[in-house]
Structure 1
Amino acid sequence: MISRMVRKGLVAAVAVAAVFPATAVASTVPAARTTAVRQAVHHHHHHVRGLVTTHHTRLLVRSGPGTAYRVVGSRPDGHVVSLSCKKRGSAVRGNHRWYRLAHHRGYVSAHYVRAGGDVRWC
């Protein structure tokens, strides 16, 4: 009994889609595009510029927000870096804040970077 009702409902749905194919497709496409655009905008974040202030030494870039993470690079004093977000990590001279560099290039201690704006939390 239930399988017959499901089958009739499925046949009816296919018949409606066959009769009104343009309407069925046209009504779903804008919603899909709107969702894709919303997701793209949602994941796009404004990066904040920061100035490295290490006083004549290089700033170490680490793989994670802390001094125990491996070093993956460095930036010279006076270099401008692009910051995507901030996280809490191990303390560097009393400062537990770390900045993630844009494009997932690593983390730098906020103690040595002067941010040019408000950096969002990761």
Structure 2
Amino acid sequence: MEVNQVDSASSIYYNPQDKLQPPKKELDKDAFLQVLVAQLRYQNPMSPMDQDQFMSQMTQITALEQIMNLNKSMETLLQTEELSLAANLVGKQVTVVGQDGRDVEGSVEKLIINENGIKVVINGTPYDYDTVKEIRG
């Protein structure tokens, strides 16, 4: 007869430290739904949740989801607007604040767009878009 050993690596409860997620600082709709499901699961069967209260919570979830969708749309609109404004800088003379705090003047050669935001390239050096302090035609 073959005996199978079960160790912590094959346990369903195994969770290596590098896979732990930092705690959330804000409650999102998933957390809200988890609370609602827990309320339904552990409610007293002799005194079930009031229908009006349940509908009120479902309405709150829907409103929360719509607000989150609106927030994402506004962020996308803001990023698009910022990119459009930055694109208009290509070829223009600008003054930016360098890393040493001194003003750098020159023509914007191109834009670099990555996860760190938008950078304007002047004389081969990238500067954050938000360091632009003067634009000349």
TM range (shorter): 0.3 to 0.5
Q: Which has the higher strand share?
A: 1
- Structure with more relative contact order (C-alpha pairs < 8 Å, separation 6 or more): 1
